[in-house]
Chain A
Amino acid sequence: MSVYAYVVAGALLLLGAIGIARSRDLVHAVVCLSISQSGTYVLLLAIGYQDGAPAPVFGSTSAPTTRVVDPVVQALTLTDIVVSATVTALLLALSIQIQKRHGTVDPDELSALEG
């Protein structure tokens, strides 16, 4: 089962995408996008994982060693989470504005272009 964790990441990405496509509510679509993006966290962390290796943080009881999980992908995941949070905030703010302007957050009812 060496690809199991990667498959979970791919499944999250695709499930989120399906949720966005089937969405009848913009807030629901934003949540689906977050789920899609969490697939990338799982993928990054799965790439960096090593069986039985501890976290890449050293202390008085754990002398520095390279036998730890990959810190580079963990730092990338941190960036990923920050970007995800800011995108979510921005899209929710846009959803509020769309609700104010059009009185609906159903993407299917937002087909008309308005100047």
Chain B
Amino acid sequence: MSRAVRWWVLGAGTAGVGLVLLLAFLQMPSFGSSHHPYRDAAVPAAVAHGTANVVGSVTFDQRGIDTLGEEAIFFGSVLAVLVLLRPEDEEEPRPEEGSLAPLQSTRLFGYLLLPLSLITGLDIVAHGHVTPGGGFQGGIMLATALHLVYVAGRYRSLEQLRPMPLFESGEAAGVAAFTALGFAGIAVTGSFLANFLPYGTFGQILSAGTVPLLNIAVGVAVGSGGIVLLGQFFTQVFLADREKGSGS
């Protein structure tokens, strides 16, 4: 397809999809209106299960099986990246050289922020059922917090703090724990991922039944998975490329 034809196809497609979208938008309930039937059903259901964060209740209680699927997608993608980016025979680890040491101020802020970010990430995972947050958000915070060591120091120091096999097992353990909680729901009440634990006091840390446990399982899986994922991309940077070395 020539370039000119391609732009015409693109233009016609964009205009067509844009027009259809606009026609659909004009028929939709007005922005900011008070008509929200799903909300009217979800909020009482969350309150009945003692979950103060309704989004957390929707994610882990009301549609927990979708979240299990979502976690499986994350798990599958980490696995796929591991397979795609495995070091090849002609590639070998390159010693880290020539990289400048970071600024003193960068080092200071990196090391100051590292414990703060780790604690904030843990807090967001642990309080996911009572305040905004949860396993996905806190897990990603934990995974990225560890990489402050790289920003503040050298890749070597990150590697020493990052036992990869542990995080690889951690990801699998997180997904396994989520599934196990689902089967525990079958054992106790007869339905998969049923919220079978006591609902506790609304708004307290011990509330919402299985939601905090599922949050922790997801937090472990996403945190470990994020570290493994970023680690794969880091490894690519520090692989000696023989082809590049021979100047092709």
Contacts and interface: CB of A to CB of B under 8 A. Distances in A.
Interface of A: 1-7, 10, 13-14, 17-18, 21-22, 46-51, 53, 55-60, 64-75, 78-79, 81-83, 85-87, 89-90, 92-94, 96-97, 100, 103
Contact of A18 (B14, B25, B39, B137): B14
Contacts of A2: 30-32
Contact of A56 (B54, B73, B137, B248): B54
Contact of B58 (A6, A13, A50, A72): A72
B43 A82 contact: no
Contact of B31 (A46, A53, A59, A70): A46
A93 B80 CA distance: 9
Interface of B: 6, 10, 13-14, 17-18, 21-22, 25-26, 28-34, 36, 38-40, 42-44, 46-47, 52-55, 57-59, 63, 66-67, 70, 73-74, 76-78, 80-81, 84-85, 88, 130-132, 134, 136-137, 140, 202-203, 229, 232-233, 236, 241, 248
A49 to B, nearest CB: 5
B203 to A, nearest CB: 6
A4 B30 CA distance: 10
B203 A60 contact: yes
A47 to B, nearest CB: 7
A94 to B, nearest CB: 6
Given A47-B28, A74-B58, A89-B77, 7 more contacts: A21-B6, A50-B33, A75-B63, A78-B134, A82-B74, A90-B77, A96-B84
A75 B25 contact: no
A92 B98 CA distance: 26
- Greatest chain B CB density within 10 A among A3, A65, A94 is at A3
Which 5 pairs show the lowest CB-CB distances between chains A and B?
A: A86-B77, A2-B30, A56-B54, A71-B54, A51-B32
A49 B81 contact: no
Nearest to A51: B32
Contact of A6 (B25, B36, B233): B25
A28 to B, nearest CB: 16
B52 A58 contact: yes
B39 A49 contact: no
A103 B247 CA distance: 12
Given A83-B70, A90-B81, A71 B31 contact: no
Nearest to A3: B25
Given A82-B70, A90-B80, A93-B232, A68 B14 contact: no
Given A5-B31, A51-B32, A89 B81 contact: yes
B43 A75 contact: no
Contact of B81 (A60, A72, A79, A93): A93
A59 B40 contact: no
A2 B39 CA distance: 20
Contacts of B22: 3, 7, 10
Given A58-B203, A66-B40, A73-B38, A97 B132 contact: no
